[in-house]
Structure 1
Amino acid sequence: MIVSVRFERGVKNKEAVRDAITFEASDGTVVKGHWFNDKRLDFRPEKYWNPNTKVTVHYKLKDVETAPGVYGGVDKDEPFTIGRSQISTADVNTHRMAVVRDGQQTDSIPFTAGKPGFDTWSGSMVVEGLEGTTRMTSAGVTKAGSGDEYDLVVPHAIRLTDTGTYVHGNYWGAGVIGRSNGSHGCIGLTDTEAGSGSSPAGKFYASSLVGDVVTVVNSKGAVVDPANGLGGWNLPWGQW
C-alpha cells in the first residue's frame, strides 16, 4: 500500500512538511516520502509491506509553515494494519493472470488485455478502489467514427489507475479471453452481464483489497506513470 497525502494549496516548504509526517511500523520498516508535485506527497517502503504489519502515521503539521503565512494545522496519529499479501501478475503473452497470496499461487485466470494501439500499461499498479458495476464509455479513448466506440455497463470493476485502467468483468468477449488481446487497455475477466459471484471476475473481485498489486508483464504498452494512481512502485528506490 502506498499512502498518498494531498494538499489543497501548493506546498512551498516541502522538506519541512515531509519531515513532519513520520511512519512507525511494528517490524521496523523504513518509509520515505516522494513529492510528485506541490500538492501530492506519497509514502512507501523500498519493498512491499510485510503482511500484518501494524503501522501508525504521525502527522505533526500544526505548527509547520507549508507556504508563507499558511500552516498545516493538523497534529494527529492514524493507525492501520497491512492485510494479507496478494500480488497478481498478468502476462499479456500467455493471457493468464497468476494470483499469489501470501507467497502461494491460488489461481491462474484467463484474461484479455489491450489490443494493438490500446496496449495495457506495463508495470505494477495498485488497486485504488472496488467500484462494483461501473459505466465505461469511449469518450477520451477513441475517436468518433473510428469503429472503436463503446458504452458499456461493466461488472466487478477494480480501478488500477486514475486514467481509467481496470480489471473488470467481460461478458461480450468470450472468444478472446485467454486467447488474444481485444480490449481498449483494461484487463477483462470472464463474467456475466449481471455480474456473477461465481465467475472468474466475481471471484477475483471478492478476493481483492485496496492496496493489492497487479503487475502487467510482456505488454507493448509503456510503464505506467508513477503518479498515475498509486503507481509509485515503478519508481526506483534511489529516485524515490
Structure 2
Amino acid sequence: MRAGYAVGALAGALVLMATTAGCSTDPAKADSPKGSAAASAGAGGGSGDAAPAVSAASIAIEPANGTTGVKPNGAVKVSAANGKLTSVKVTGPDGTEVPGEITADGTGWSPKAGLAVSTAYTVDALAEDAKGVVTNARSTFTTLTPEKEAGTTDNIADNGTYGVGMIVSVRFDRSVKNKDAVEAGITFETSDGTTVRGHWFGDKRLDFRPENYWNPGTKVTIHYKLKNVETAPGVYGDVNKDEPFTIGRSQISTVDVSTHKMAVVRDGQQVDTVEFTAGKPGYDTWNGVMVVEAKEGTTRMTSAGVTKEGSGDEYDLVVPHAMRLTDSGTYVHGNSWSAGVIGRSNGSHGCIGVTDTKSGSASAPAGKLYDSSLVGDVFKVVNSKGKVVDPSNGLSGWNTPWAQW
C-alpha cells in the first residue's frame, strides 16, 4: 500500500509539473513567442499548443530578392502596410550602411544617396503592427555594371595654384542629358565659404566659377562623385575623386586698346605699365574679360583660318612667351617684329603683342609679364572696336552676368 501510494503521488507530481510549465517536447515549439502557447493554455486549459502570434504588418521591398542590373538611383523602396517600419538597413558587401530615413508616418523608407554601380546590397527591414507584434523581411540585389561611360576631364592639376580669375571647365566625351544630376555630382569645398556655381555650354561642357573673382589664398577642393550618376540613358560617369587646388595672389591687367598701354595690378597695387599692339582694323581684339587658360611658352602661329589665302596678309611665326586667352587663338605674346607700332598703334591680327626678342628674353617686357603670370590671371580688354568675347571662348565666362550663370 505504501509503495503504491508513493508511485501514484510521484505520477501526480509529474503531471502537475507538465501542466504548470506549459512546455512542449517538440523542439520546434520550444521557443514559442510570448503570448502564443502559454496564453492558449491559460485561457482554455486545452491539451494542444497554440500557434505563434502573427503580425498584421507586412513589408514590401523593391527591388525584389535576387534582382540584378538595378539602377543606382531611385530603385530602392521599402514600405509597410497595416503597421509601421521600425528599422531599415541597406548594406553593401563591406557592411557599410546606405544612409536613408523612414517617413514620418512609418510607412516608407528611401535612401538619401545613390548606390554604387556593380555592387551587391542587402536590405533588412522590421515593422510592427498596432499590437506591437513584429515582422521582418530581407532582399538582396545587385546594381548594374555600366556598359557605357562618359569620360570626364577638367583643366585643374592636383594641388595647382591659379589666378583669381580661374574658371574650372569640365568636359565630357559624350553628350550629357541629365544635367542636373551631373551638376549635383560635382561639388566645391572652399576654405572661405565661397559659393561656386556651374553653367553649361552645350551638352559636353560644364564650367564653374564664383560670383566674383576668387579671394587670394583660397583653398578649394572639387569633389567628383559621378560614377553612380546616369549622365544620359544607359551612360554613367567615370570618376569619383577629390581634386584640391589653391588660388594664388591677385593679378588683373587692364588692356586699353585706345592708349596701347596695359595696367598690371597685383593685390590691389599697380606694379607695371606695359606697352602693346593689339588687333588692327578688320582683326580687332575682343573686348571683355579673358583669362589665361595656358602658358604655352614658344608657340608657332599661322594665319590658317585667320586671313584669306593670297591676301598678302598671311603669316607663319614662332613667337615666345605665349599665353593663350581664347580657344579661337587670342594670345598675349612676345613680339620682336613690330617695334615701330608697339605702344603707338594696332597692327596685330587680334593678339596682344608685347616687346620681346626673337627667341624671347626674360628681361624683356613680354618675358617679365610671362614670368609674373599664372594660369587663371585676368586680362580685361577695353576700348577695342571688336565685339565682347563669347563667354564660351576660352575661360571667358566672367562676361556672363551672375544672374544668368
Shift of 1:13: 0.2
Other-structure match for 2:227: 62
Runs (4+) of structure 1 exceeding 4 A deviation are none
Aligned residue for 2:186?
Answer: 21
**TM-score, structure 1 as length reference:** 0.99
The question of 1:162 aligning with 2:347 is answered no
For residues 221 and 208 of structure 2, what CA distance do their matches in structure 1 show?
Answer: 13
Give the Cα–Cα distance (whole angstroms) in 1 for the partners of residues 355 and 403 of structure 2. 39
Aligned partner of residue 220 in structure 2, secondary structure? strand
Query: 1:201 is paired with a residue of what secondary structure?
Result: helix
Opposite residue 8 of structure 1, the aligned amino acid is D
**1:53-202 alignment, distance < 5 Å:** 53-202=218-367
Question: What is the root-mean-square deviation in Å for CA atoms of aligned residues?
Answer: 0.7
Distance in 2 between the 1:39 and 1:129 partners?
21
Q: 1:173-228 CA distances to partner (integer Å, 9 max, x unpaired)?
A: 00100000010000000001010110000000000111101110000101111111
Q: CA offset at residue 140 of structure 1?
A: 0.6
Question: C-alpha displacement at 1:73, in angstroms?
Answer: 3.1
Post-superposition shift, 1:60?
1.3
In 1, Cα distance between equivalents of 2:339 and 2:239 = 52
From the two aligned structures, give the one with the greater helix fraction: 2
Q: 2-side partners of 1:164 and 1:184: how far apart? A: 10
Cα distance in 1 for partners of 2:269, 2:190 equals 25
Unaligned stretches of 5+ residues in structure 2: 1-165
TM-score, with length taken from structure 2: 0.59
Amino acid of the structure 2 residue aligned with 1:7: F
- Structure 1 CA distance for aligned equivalents of residues 342 and 226 of structure 2: 50
- Mapped partners of 1:147, 1:28: distance in 2: 54
Letter in 1 for 2:304: A
In structure 2, give the amino acid aligned to 1:171: S
Alpha-carbon deviation of 1:86? 0.7
* Distance across 2 between alignment mates of 1:74 and 1:90: 39
CA distance in 1, matches of 2:299, 2:220: 32
Letter matched to residue 150 of structure 1: Y
2:284 is paired with a residue whose SS is: coil
What is the identity, as a one-letter code, of the residue corresponding to 1:25? Answer: T
Give the Å deviation of 1:144.
1.4
Q: Distance in 1 between matches of 2:239 and 2:294?
A: 26
Greater RCO structure (CA 8 Å; 6+ sep): 1
What is the count of residue pairs matched by the alignment? 240
Larger radius of gyration: 2
